[in-house]
Amino acid sequence: MPQTNKQELKKDDIMDIQLEKKKGIQKKHLPYIGGGAVILLLLGWIIFGNHASTLKVDGKSLNIADVTYGKFNDYIRVNGQVQPISVVQLSPEEGGIVQEKVVEEGAHVKKGDVILRLSNSNLDLQILNAESELAEKQNLLRNTQVTMQQDKLNNETEKVQLDIDTRRKQRTFQQYQRLYKERLISREEYLQAKEDYEVAQKKHKLITERLVQDSIYRNIQMDQMEDNLQNMRKNVLLIRERKDKLEVRATIDGELGLLDAELGQNINAGQMVGQINDLSDFKIEAMIDEHYIDRVTNGLPATFERQGSSFNLKVRKVYPEVREGRFRTDFIFQGNRPENIRSGQTYYIDLQLGEPTESVLIPKGTFFQVTGGNWIFVVDKEGKKAYRRKIRIGRQNPQYYEVLEGLEKGERVIVSGYESYKDNEVLVLN
């Protein structure tokens, strides 16, 4: 065999040997294989594993309740305060300085009783000025009446004299007229007698008209002065009435609940100085969470327990204004009232919002503060674990929540607070 062929054969053998060595798993491949296995295991855990965060808790410290099915009474419990059925404000109609406090707070008063006495020096001065002006006008009226009466008499006297003079001149004229016809007197004498009679007639007519006009003027003037005097008398009466209004009086029978006035204090007209409580009946004022503002309406029934007896109420008025998350509601009694009822007493009222219905129920609990009723921990049948579950809660009353979705009768749930394990999915109960 030639030398060249031998060399080519050896090269081929060497290459075959090298190829055989590359087949199979080598040591340098082991790290890659191990890493791949770890990745596969991780992916499997992510896809198929249980990732729920678990926390061990003391089961004895939990409040576990049964889910039940029964009658849900749609009501809320609110605390209300007894108030008088109405309150009347005390305000002076006339301002002044407090001179006397006739009664004190808490006293029972009758309508018309004096509560406060005030003084007002400016008002006293106004009364004196008004009375003085009235007296002056009255004197002026009397003097005017006297003057007018005298003028009237003078005019009437003048008229009487003119009447006599006219009649005389009429007789003279008539006599001269006859004489002139008989040509016993001259024409000039006749004409003079005629002219004198005509002048007398005109004077008589003028004085008569003047007397009529004077009478009309006097009547108008007297009426005006009398009207002015009447207005001044009314003004004096009004000022005197203002004087009477310096006494602050009770406008109703009741209890003087407040009196904010001290001796020597200057009080303005219309300023509130107190109030009278109408004790003929009572009402109860309650502040209710704004959550119920759309459900509380006039006429809704309510009850409360007192001294072993039940008393009925109904909503009288719902105030629309919301303050600090609550709105005011007034209740009035239906039927009997508690004995020895007093203003300021506190009653716990059950307000009925709707008719009872059959529903899935869970007892009220502090878990709601954390979950808002959106989820709850449900205990398994063995009582070993509790699992987080979504639920939907509807209405609530002081005892129960109405469960709309997520729970069934016979299950058990944790209703105590979740603050320490609100982020966990599973609880292991020790």
Question: Could you tell me if residue 112 is inside a domain?
Answer: no
Domain co-membership, 166 together with 239: yes
- Picking from 328, 352, 376, the residue at the C-terminal end of a domain is 352
- 342 and 314 belong to one structural domain: yes
Q: Are residues 237 and 133 part of one domain? A: yes
Q: What is residue 34's predicted lDDT score, i.e. its pLDDT?
A: 59
Whether residue 108 is contained in a domain is answered as no
- What's the pLDDT score for residue 19? 42
For residue 133, tell me if it sits in a domain: yes
Which residues of the chain have a pLDDT value below 70?
1-52
User: What is the predicted pLDDT for the residue at 8?
Assistant: 46
Give a yes or no: residue 109 inside a domain: no
pLDDT at 145: 75
Final residue before a domain boundary, out of 320, 352, 384? 352
The pLDDT assigned to 28 comes to: 60
Claim to verify: residue 223 and residue 127 sit in the same structural domain: yes
Looking at the domain assignment, is residue 255 inside a domain? no
Same domain flag for 133 and 230: yes
pLDDT tens, residue by residue, 16-66: 444 444 445 555 656 666 566 656 665 554 444 445 588 998 888 899 999
207 & 145 share domain: yes
Q: What's the pLDDT score for residue 14? A: 45
Same domain flag for 66 and 155: no
pLDDT in tens, 330-388: 999 999 999 888 888 999 999 999 888 999 999 999 999 999 899 999 999 999 999 99
Domain that holds residue 382: 54-73+357-429
| 362 within a domain of the structure (yes/no) | yes
**Residue 154 sits in the same domain as residue 240:** yes
Is there a domain that residue 144 lies in? yes
Number of domains in the chain: 4
Q: Do 336 and 363 belong to one domain?
A: no
The three-state (H, E, C) secondary structure of the chain, written as one string? CCHHHHHHHHHHHHHHHHHHHHCCCCHHHHHHHHHHHHHHHHHHHHHHCCCCCEEEECHHHCCEEECEEEEECCEEEEEEEEEEEEEEEECCCCCEEEEEECCCCCCEECCCCEEEEEECHHHHHHHHHHHHHHHHHHHHHHHHHHHHHHHHHHHHHHHHHHHHHHHHHHHHHHHHHHHHHCCCCCHHHHHHHHHHHHHHHHHHHHHHHHHHHHHHHHHHHHHHHHHHHHHHHHHHHHHHHHHHCCEEECCCCEEEEEECCCCCCEECCCCCCEEEEEEEEEEEEEEEEHHHCCCCCCCCEEEEEECCEEEEEEEEEEEEEEECCEEEEEEEEECCCCCCCCCCCEEEEEEECCCCEEEEEEECCCCHHHHCCCEEEEECCCCCEEEEEECEEEEECCCEEEEEECCCCCCEEECCCCCCCCCCCEEEEC
**301 and 226 co-located in one domain:** no
Task: Note whether residue 214 is domain-resident.
Answer: yes
166/280 same-domain check: no
232 and 195 in one domain?
A: yes
